[in-house]
Amino acid sequence: MTEQLTEQTATAAASGNSATERFLEKGVAADSSTERVDKLATEVIGAVHEVIRRNKVTYEEYDALKAWLIQVGLDGEWPLFLDVWIEHVVEEVANEDREGTQGSIEGPYYVPGSPEFQAEATLPMRDDEPGTPLLFQGQVTSTSGQPLGGAHVEMWHADDYGYYSQYAPGLPEWNLRGTVVTDEQGRFKIHTIQPAPYQIPHDGACGKLISAAGWHAWRPAHLHLKVSAPDHQLITSQLYFQGGDYVDNDIAQAVKPNLILNPTPAADGTGNEVTYNFVLDPA
């Protein structure tokens, strides 16, 4: 008897290993001058020493940490761990000088190259895709107020059960992922479904930390976006829903007041609609 693979049989290790593979493909370049590496590595290691001294960390705790760190790698959960607990501060520093739309973290489940559409589109989804329909529309302009036609609005989000295509079995490849190119006025309309609150995979090493520390594994319902246009800085963002569960208590600490949507019932009676405009800083 073979077990049927559906998104709801997804395991932390399987989605973790996809995220690890994807990240390794990305290719990474950073300033790796001796001075910079020396400074950052010395400070990080020094910060750990400080925690050990202050809390009188025991050998048992040190060995438990070692075992846990090894397990994070075996479960492929380094992308998850880093994006949940570290990335929001990197994003804060990277975007502190922007004048345009605020950003938020990318997270571990972005896939480049999603299907492209012109101006108004429905994200790829199953015929019986569960969830409340959502029309997400708006305009992309530059900080000088100029409409940006031909801008790319890339959206990806989890389905109504909290699973991302390409990171859970049984979902169509590009389910709930797409790139909409703005019209001459910089406008776009994206038809999708409203995502549900999302629990990060918790049957692996990250879940072990969460339960050992008495935390919860939830992120508020969110839409992921990347918006870009020639001669402008790409913004990676996430949008949330007013009054939604965990908006004030996101495990990834990636919510900002300006990123909270308040959808209203759609004019045509099918689900909800909301307008959100993006302002891009010059490159």
Residues lying near ligand MBD in the complex (CB under 6 A) are found at 80, 83-84, 105, 107-109, 198, 200, 219, 252, 254
Q: Which C-beta is closer to ligand MBD: that of 83 or that of 273? A: 83
The interface partner of residue 79, options being Fe ion, ligand MBD, none and the CB cut-off 5 to 8 Å by kind, is none
Identify which range of 76-84, 103-111, 126-134, 187-195 contacts Fe ion by CB under 5 A: 103-111
Q: Which C-beta is closer to ligand MBD: that of 71 or that of 253? A: 253
Which of 247, 228, 245, 224 is CA-nearest to residue 104?
A: 224
Identify which range of 54-62, 106-114, 200-208, 209-217 contacts Fe ion by CB under 5 A: 106-114
Q: What is the smallest separation between the CB atom of 222 and ligand MBD, expressed in angstroms?
A: 6
Closest chain position to ligand MBD (CB): 107
Tokens of 169: 């079995």
In order of 228, 240, 256, the CA distances from 187 in angstroms are 13, 21, 24
Helix (H, G, I), strand (E, B) or coil at 128: coil
Q: Which C-beta is closer to ligand MBD: that of 107 or that of 204? A: 107
The interface partner of residue 239, options being Fe ion, ligand MBD, none and the CB cut-off 5 to 8 Å by kind, is none
244 binds Fe ion (CB under 5 A): no
Q: Which C-beta is closer to ligand MBD: that of 196 or that of 254? A: 254
- Given 76, 100, 103, 107, the residue binding Fe ion (CB under 5 A): 107
Query: What secondary structure letter does DSSP report for 1?
Result: -
The span from the CA of 197 to the CA of 35, in Å, is: 43
The interface partner of residue 108, options being Fe ion, ligand MBD, none and the CB cut-off 5 to 8 Å by kind, is ligand MBD
The interface partner of residue 200, options being ligand MBD, Fe ion, none and the CB cut-off 5 to 8 Å by kind, is ligand MBD
The interface partner of residue 105, options being ligand MBD, Fe ion, none and the CB cut-off 5 to 8 Å by kind, is ligand MBD
CA 254 distance to own-chain centroid:
9
CA 57 distance to own-chain centroid:
33
Helix (H, G, I), strand (E, B) or coil at 135: strand
Helix (H, G, I), strand (E, B) or coil at 254: coil
The interface partner of residue 100, options being ligand MBD, Fe ion, none and the CB cut-off 5 to 8 Å by kind, is none
Query: Which string of DSSP letters, residue by residue, matches 183-226?
Result: -TTSEEEEEEEPPPPEEPP-SSHHHHHHHHHT---EE---EEEE
The interface partner of residue 76, options being Fe ion, ligand MBD, none and the CB cut-off 5 to 8 Å by kind, is none
Cβ–Cβ < 8 Å for 207, 54: no
Residues in the chain: 283
Q: How big is the chain by its Cα radius of gyration, in Å?
A: 20
Question: What are the residues binding Fe ion (CB under 5 A)?
Answer: 107
